[in-house]
Amino acid sequence: MRVEDSRFIRGRGNYTDDVKLPGMLYMEILRSPLAHARIISIDTSRAWAIPGVRLVLTGEMMAQRNLAWMPTLSYDTQAVLATDKVRFQGQEVCVVVADDPYIAKDGCEAIDVEYEPLPPIVNPEQSAAPGAPVIRDDKQGQVDNTCYRWEVGDREATERAFAEADVVSKLKLHYPRSHPSPIECCGSVADFDPATKKLTVYMTSQAPHIVRSAVALIAELPEHMIRIVSPDVGGGFGNKVPVYPGYVHSILASILLGKPVKWTEDKTGNLISTGFGRDMYLDGEMALRSDGKILAVRMHADTDQGAFFADAQPSKFKIGLMHSTFACYNIGTGYITAQGHYTNKAPGGVAYRCSFRVTEAMFFQERMVQAAADDLGIDQAEFRRVNLLPDDAFPARTPFGFLVDSGQYDKCLQIGLDAIGYEEFRREQAAARAKGRLLGIGISTMTEPLGAGNSREYDILGIKMFDSAELRVHLTGKAILRTGAKTQGQGHETTWAQIVSHELGIPAADVVVEEGDTDTAPYGMGTYASRSTPVAGAAVSMVSRKIRAKARKIAAHLLEVSEEDIEWELGRFFVRGAPERGATIQECAMAAYSNMPDGMEPGLEGNAYYDPPNLTWPFACYIVTVEVDPETGVWDVLRVVAVDDCGVRINPMIVEGQIMGGLTEAYAMSNMQFQTYDAEGNIVGSNYMDYLIPTAWETPGFELHEVVTPCPHHPIGAKGVGECAAVGGPAAFVNAVLDAIAHTGVRNIDMPVLPDRVWTALQTHQDVS
Ligand code: CDP
């Protein structure tokens, strides 16, 4: 059991909504019912008249304080409260603060807003159409709905490779809009103390220090007078990285009223207004030699960014790390272009359980690989074998600039194929097909960049991507560890203590881990992109080693020998050649406060800021078998085999939990989960009746296998793992369904691969989007 489980499973967690402060008021947000409309007037008088209403905030009031707009993590701006127009259904229009949450809701209902509807734009095609209304007319110089354009790779070399190709394989698809949908929605309790002028905000954030810096900049408050506390967080999956308007409203309301103000978002609010994931249209082609060799890859991505460009993404890469695509394959050369489009939808494009845009990158890669193998008439496992980077290729520079440093790709693939019984399944499949049964097998192999930094290449809002750890070993040998990461269920309280124990020999039970309080934790960039182990976890190792180095000097003093004569075994120093003469780490800790050598600074504590030399590159092979019902298009999963290589595993049980969770989300995305919008911009997927979360009942069983290729630069050889299965998994499910209906010649069914889509494909023999 994980350390944190004892409080979670007994309902003793302490989440933001559990925070109750004396005199606390409650906040509710009035949201726009329309996707695109001009605001003609807002009448708040009836709301003000309700007893118990303390404050009604409008965009105009925010504008008077220069707070109507805020910067996003992608150098765009986002409306905090609408002033001129509403730009998506669910946008924040007014805020009511009252004595209790019900009065605040009543207050919202009493506000009269007059809108003049404008034509809504709900996809990139409409967004780019000539004469389309300009959504972001608030931005100077914005003449159309283009959010950004970006390109990477070698265009000329790619064109040359395509001219020499025997076969060109093409594929177009849409990765639908999905939502991370953590069980706990967003929320905050802002507490501005008028006496001390200190602002404390309890909030659901994956990155409290970034929020503190953002609040300091937006609200122009001194950073040392801001304390952000992320207590227990009930799942984040990327959804809790951005700074949402609701946080800003509660902060301003608390400053204006001099009282604590709580905002607790409901499920619909979360689903319709906070950071979604994906919504990308991909168009790609591969230049192939007839023997199966990939010569080049060309791709274009159109992303639907919604009304504001509010991704979290490293500033140099407009489309996240999309160009990590094909990193595990030797593709020769490649060229990627991308265009972001503003639409009348909620802002986002957040990294839903992934590193920026790698999920889309890996999905497209693995769908293209299957299509290319089919076009060449080569078995899909064999096609991968021909093109995967061999073990002796590392370190290898990808055509898009990444340095892939380690892996045993062929071994992982082979373990997966053996586990599923690939050849036997192919025979079974042929026999079943002869009897009208449709069996299919899908493979997805991928490496992905986890662990943003390093600081040379990665920053958010100019803040370099590193992380930190602070370790204090007390007099009795017990310790407290703090990091700049923030667990949201990943189990850091367990695994960080294990790293300290591994480095120092202090029992893990003697190490308490604290994260999420900016007044006490060292500055860090938070937890997302599976960066905690690669960066903060490395910092934990490094700070432990600093402590060990100091403890060695103390041991030499205690044992009355020179430092050079001291040897280390886990938890204990001893004299070389006289192993019975030793000092435990606990004895050294005691001496650090009671008997230190002359001239030595007392205490046994330190901190480490870790800037990784590279990203970490875990590899995974996911293989899925399915049976499709030819009458209904319903498909059942037969088996799921996962082979993950995340380097050294700190806690195998937690790693397996991460992989199972990721595979569950992969299954959901491929099978049932998406947000869509009607022509008026009304969201479909605003509640759990429409937006489906798989339960234990639907979720298939998973068979897990492992390979360990240590990360060459991480202090303990670990690579990130949290998101691998969610990133690599979806393609395996979709590939399996398409393999089952390969006889129709259908190359693509867009996710989610709903039964009616499969049925249509079976009837029409046409791709279904
Ligand atoms: O950043 P995040 O915590 O979401 O992802 P991660 O760094 O991949 O770690 C997820 C969980 O798996 C953490 O508790 C890690 O310590 C653990 N883990 C592990 O035990 N061994 C690894 N090689 C990687 C992660």
Is residue 78 helix, strand or coil? strand
CA 536 to ligand 1: nearest atom: 7
Of 2, 723, 724, 757, the catalytic one is: 723
What's the CA gap between 234 and 11, in Å, rounded? 12
Is 467-610 in the same CATH topology as 14-121+184-273? no
What's the CA gap between 299 and 278, in Å, rounded? 16
Q: Per residue, what are the HEC states of 418-457?
A: HHHCHHHHHHHHHHHHHCCCEEEEEEEEEECCECCCCCCC
pLDDT at 269 over 80: yes
Taking the domain 467-610, which CATH number applies? 3.30.365.10
Rounded to an integer, the average pLDDT of 117-136 is: 98
What's the CA gap between 242 and 523, in Å, rounded? 18
Residue 168's pLDDT is what? 98
In DSSP terms, 79 is beta-bridged to 69
**Contact in structure between 440 and 607 (CB atoms under 8 Å):** no
Q: Which residues contact 570 (CB under 8 A, 6 or more apart)?
A: 502, 505
Per-residue pLDDT band for 217 (boundaries 50, 70, 90) equals: confident
Rounded to an integer, the average pLDDT of 473-486 is: 98
Rounded to an integer, the average pLDDT of 244-267 is: 97
Rounded to an integer, the average pLDDT of 465-470 is: 96
Compute the distance from residue 530 Cα to the ligand 1 centre, in Å. Answer: 7
Residue type, 416: G
Compute the distance from residue 725 Cα to the ligand 1 centre, in Å. Answer: 13
Rounded to an integer, the average pLDDT of 93-121 is: 98
**Contact in structure between 662 and 354 (CB atoms under 8 Å):** no
Q: Closest Cα partner for 364 from 318, 413, 325?
A: 325
To test the pocket of ligand 1, the residue of 206, 654, 656, 709 to mutate (highest count of ligand atoms within 8 Å of its CB) is: 654
Per-residue pLDDT band for 221 (boundaries 50, 70, 90) equals: confident
Compute the distance from residue 716 Cα to the ligand 1 centre, in Å. Answer: 13
CA 718 to ligand 1: nearest atom: 23
Note the pLDDT tens digit of each residue in 444-463: 999 999 998 899 899 888 88
Answer yes or no: 223 catalytic. no
What's the CA gap between 727 and 666, in Å, rounded? 7
Pairing of strands 467-473, 605-610: antiparallel
For 112, other C-beta atoms within 10 Å of its C-beta total 11
Looking at this predicted complex, what is its ipTM?
A: 0.98
Residue 139's pLDDT is what? 97
Tell me: domain 14-121+184-273, CATH 3.90.1170.50, correct? Answer: yes
Answer yes or no: 353 catalytic. yes
Residue 52's pLDDT is what? 98
Residue 180's pLDDT is what? 95
For 701-749, list the strands marked E by DSSP: 703-706
Compute the distance from residue 380 Cα to the ligand 1 centre, in Å. Answer: 31
Q: What percent of the chain has pLDDT over 70?
A: 100
Could you tell me the two tokens for 529?
A: 């992109």
In DSSP terms, 753 is beta-bridged to none
Domain boundaries, the chain: 14-121+184-273, 403-451+615-769, 467-610
Asked whether 120 lines ligand 1 (CB < 6 A), one says: no
Of 94, 354, 621, 724, the catalytic one is: 354
Asked whether 658 lines ligand 1 (CB < 6 A), one says: yes
Q: Whose CA is nearest to atom 19 of ligand 1?
A: 650
Rounded to an integer, the average pLDDT of 689-704 is: 94
Compute the distance from residue 652 Cα to the ligand 1 centre, in Å. Answer: 10
Could you tell me the two tokens for 86?
A: 């509403």
Q: What is the DSSP string of 362-379?
A: HHHHHHHHHHHHHHHT--
For 82, other C-beta atoms within 10 Å of its C-beta total 26
What's the CA gap between 676 and 462, in Å, rounded? 34
Note the pLDDT tens digit of each residue in 327-374: 999 999 999 999 999 999 999 888 899 989 999 999 999 999 999 999
Residue 348's pLDDT is what? 83
**Contact in structure between 674 and 278 (CB atoms under 8 Å):** no
What's the CA gap between 727 and 363, in Å, rounded? 7
Helix (H) or strand (E) holding 540: helix 538-559
Note the pLDDT tens digit of each residue in 18-60: 999 999 999 999 999 999 999 999 999 999 999 999 999 999 9
Q: Which residues contact 377 (CB under 8 A, 6 or more apart)?
A: none
Backbone angles phi, psi at 367, to 5 degrees: -75, -40
Q: Cα–Cα–Cα angle for 555, 557, 562, nearest 5°?
A: 90
Compute the distance from residue 524 Cα to the ligand 1 centre, in Å. Answer: 16
Please state, in angstroms and as integers, the Cα–Cα distance from residue 631 to each residue in 136, 414, 523, 730, 758, following that order: 47, 34, 58, 24, 10
Is residue 457 helix, strand or coil? coil
Residue 219's pLDDT is what? 75
CA 533 to ligand 1: nearest atom: 7
What's the CA gap between 387 and 328, in Å, rounded? 8
Residue 220's pLDDT is what? 80
Note the pLDDT tens digit of each residue in 138-189: 999 999 999 999 999 999 999 999 999 999 999 999 999 999 999 999 999 9
Asked whether 527 lines ligand 1 (CB < 6 A), one says: yes
Asked whether 647 lines ligand 1 (CB < 6 A), one says: yes
Backbone angles phi, psi at 578, to 5 degrees: -135, 70
Note the pLDDT tens digit of each residue in 710-768: 999 999 999 999 999 999 999 999 999 999 999 999 999 999 999 999 999 999 999 99
CA 655 to ligand 1: nearest atom: 12
Note the pLDDT tens digit of each residue in 574-614: 999 999 999 999 999 999 999 999 999 999 999 999 999 99
Q: Whose CA is nearest to atom 2 of ligand 1?
A: 530
Compute the distance from residue 722 Cα to the ligand 1 centre, in Å. Answer: 6
CA 537 to ligand 1: nearest atom: 16
pLDDT at 215 over 90: no
Q: Which long-range contacts (CB under 8 A, 24 or more apart) does 566-573 make?
A: 569/505, 570/502, 570/505, 571/504, 571/505, 571/506, 572/505
Asked whether 491 lines ligand 1 (CB < 6 A), one says: yes
Compute the distance from residue 604 Cα to the ligand 1 centre, in Å. Answer: 27
Taking the domain 403-451+615-769, which CATH number applies? 3.30.365.10
Could you tell me the two tokens for 340?
A: 């972001």
Per-residue pLDDT band for 503 (boundaries 50, 70, 90) equals: very high
Residue 210's pLDDT is what? 93
To test the pocket of ligand 1, the residue of 240, 533, 644, 706 to mutate (highest count of ligand atoms within 8 Å of its CB) is: 533
Q: Closest Cα partner for 488 from 191, 265, 203?
A: 203
pLDDT at 218 over 80: no
Asked whether 550 lines ligand 1 (CB < 6 A), one says: no
Residue 311's pLDDT is what? 86
Residue type, 703: E
Answer yes or no: 723 catalytic. yes
Asked whether 492 lines ligand 1 (CB < 6 A), one says: yes
CA 495 to ligand 1: nearest atom: 16
Asked whether 229 lines ligand 1 (CB < 6 A), one says: no
Compute the distance from residue 661 Cα to the ligand 1 centre, in Å. Answer: 13
Per-residue pLDDT band for 314 (boundaries 50, 70, 90) equals: confident
Q: Whose CA is nearest to atom 24 of ligand 1?
A: 720
Of 353, 384, 639, 747, the catalytic one is: 353
Asked whether 654 lines ligand 1 (CB < 6 A), one says: yes
CA 651 to ligand 1: nearest atom: 20
Asked whether 650 lines ligand 1 (CB < 6 A), one says: yes
Instruction: Scan for tokens 């402590």, then name that residue.
Output: 547
Residue 157's pLDDT is what? 98
Is residue 690 helix, strand or coil? coil
Strand order in the sheet with 277-288: 146-153, 333-342, 294-306, 277-288, 167-178
Q: Closest Cα partner for 212 from 229, 196, 197, 234?
A: 229
Asked whether 651 lines ligand 1 (CB < 6 A), one says: yes
Compute the distance from residue 639 Cα to the ligand 1 centre, in Å. Answer: 25
Per-residue pLDDT band for 568 (boundaries 50, 70, 90) equals: very high
* Dihedral angle over CA of 642, 648, 653, 654, nearest 10: -90
Q: What percent of the chain has pLDDT over 90?
A: 95
